[in-house]
Amino acid sequence: MERGLAVLEHVGMRQEISTNAIATQLGLSRSAVYRIVHTLKELEYLEADHVTGRVRLGARLVELGVQAMSATDL
């Protein structure tokens, strides 16, 4: 779970990034990152650009953010 969250945070800081770059920059194996990214895409936490293959944050994270904001007294 920690590695999955690390991937999400890393993608969020970079806006759009390749899976190979994630692996290199986080010091994780490419196969582990591919599995994590695949799962996060299936769950819509990440989405991939169809041309470049780079990943970015997905719609599910927006939904979670809205839920978090509505539960917070600001």
By CB atoms closer than 10 A (0-12, 13-18, 19+), residue 52 is: exposed
pLDDT-derived band of residue 72, with 50, 70 and 90 as boundaries?
confident
Contact 59, 44 (CB under 8 A): yes
Nearest to 28 by CA among 57, 10, 5, 3: 3
pLDDT average, residue stretch 58-63: 93
pLDDT at 73: 76
State the angle between helix axes of 19-26 and 2-14 in degrees (0 to 180), rounded to the nearest 10: 110
Q: What percentage of the chain reaches a pLDDT higher than 70?
A: 99
